[in-house]
Amino acid sequence: MIEQRIAGSSTLALLQKVRELKASGADLVSFAAGEADFDTPEVVTKELLASVERGNTRYVATQGLPPLREVVAKDYNNRLGAEWVKPENVLVAAGAKQGIYLAMCGILTPGANDEVLIPKPYWVSYPGITKAAGGRAVYVETQKETAYFPTVAALEAAKSDKSKILIMSSPCNPTGTMISKEHLSEILKWCVANKIVLIYDEIYERLALKDTPHTSALSVCTQEESEFVIAVNAVSKSLAMTGWRMGYVLTHKDNIAALTALQSQMLTCLPGFIQDAATAGLNAVDELFPPILEKFKKRLVLLEKLLSEVKGISFAPPQGAFYAFLNVEALMKSKGIAEDKDLCSVLLDDAGIVVNPGSSFGMPGHVRMSFATSEEEITKGVERLKKYANS
């Protein structure tokens, strides 16, 4: 029998449990979803069908179709400020998650016990992907005062001669915080100086909800320095295409060549009809996304207002993505609850609220709330939380 060496995704397991409970008639308000609550745009689905009808169902280039890599490169040039990026710097992957795994497999040496620096809190899959790729996770402490991004001093304290990768996201899952250009530049300089590759997960980059603009790591490095920078992105969040598994990796062209060779053995290629659909979506996203962005901005304003009335919680104000990461230590203490997972169970059973435990993200005593749901559901859910917490 195959030995299970890696734990499954806790967030995906929770979502499946929510589906089952709702199907059985449970009255739940779920703040667990890591996907937008709008449908894939019609321009995308129509192009998918048209591509299939054109017969685009055979093998295509492993690196990705030229029109898709072209639109991604132009987007990074014009919108994200990475003027040196060209189609040769883009590799298509089966979602951002597979892109991260591919990059780690390309960097980490099997059997060498290479280390991946992972700031806490982190997206739940970073440790599992690290282990699957043969690396060893080394966790880096962060503070609320630095928006939960690591200082160079903290990175310096955590590194060793085995450190090969630093991975982090902005806007961050689970905190919703965003790193400043100055802070990111400091970290990038440290990575280049120490020959540590920064895997920069910017899948939520279009969801900048307040005054802080998103900074792409590729916009603060030169083409030569991009040897040590791998940006990972996808259409999952911006075009509601989570199930389509359509992502891309951007880095130095020599890195792309090596990763393309690895991808040819791992995946062969992402289906051409999905790439055509994603190309159509990216060509239209600047017109499609602004109304969606405004909707999420309104939801965040509402969520922060409602949460201010709940006793026993605090949080760093989210700047992007669609998450709030709540410190619930005071609430747990007032209720005599020792573990955040136990609090999540109580909230599910007694209040009909679904949230993710912070321990899954490397930070016990917290919970993650996704506001990728309607204003009505946000109001209903936080009122339930307030009733529980304030009683």
Helix (H, G, I), strand (E, B) or coil at 327: strand
pTM: 0.95
pLDDT in tens, 116-174: 999 999 999 999 999 999 999 999 999 999 999 999 999 999 999 999 999 999 999 99
Under 8 Å between Cβ of 178 and 171: yes
Percent of the chain with pLDDT over 70: 98
pLDDT in tens, 166-215: 999 999 999 999 999 999 999 999 999 999 999 999 999 999 999 889 99
Q: What proportions of the chain, in percent to the nearest 5, are helix, strand and coil?
A: 50, 15, 40
Distances 294 to 28, 81, 213 between C-alpha atoms, Å = 26, 23, 15
Q: In Å, how far from its chain's centre is CA 283?
A: 22
Distances 101 to 21, 159, 174, 192, 329 between C-alpha atoms, Å = 32, 21, 20, 21, 34
- H-only helix segments in the chain: 10-23, 42-53, 66-78, 95-107, 125-132, 152-158, 181-194, 253-266, 272-307, 329-335, 340-346, 375-390
Contacting residues for 189 by C-beta, under 8 A, at least 6 apart: none
And the tokens for 30?
């779920």
Q: If you average pLDDT over residues 292-302, what whole number do you get?
A: 96
Residue 391's pLDDT is: 86
The total number of residues shown for the chain amounts to 391
Under 8 Å between Cβ of 307 and 299: no
Which DSSP state fits 35?
A: S
Rounded Cα gap, residues 63 and 60, in angstroms: 9
| Domains observed in the chain | 10-40+286-390 (3.90.1150.10), 58-284 (3.40.640.10)
Residue 139's pLDDT is: 98
Query: Phi and psi dihedrals of 65, rounded to 5?
Result: -65, 140
Query: Phi and psi dihedrals of 356, rounded to 5?
Result: -95, 135
Under 8 Å between Cβ of 69 and 282: no
> If pLDDT is split at 50, 70 and 90, which confidence band does 19 have?
confident
Q: Which of 97, 116, 118 is nearest to 107 (CA)?
A: 116
Residue 42's pLDDT is: 97
Residue 166's pLDDT is: 98
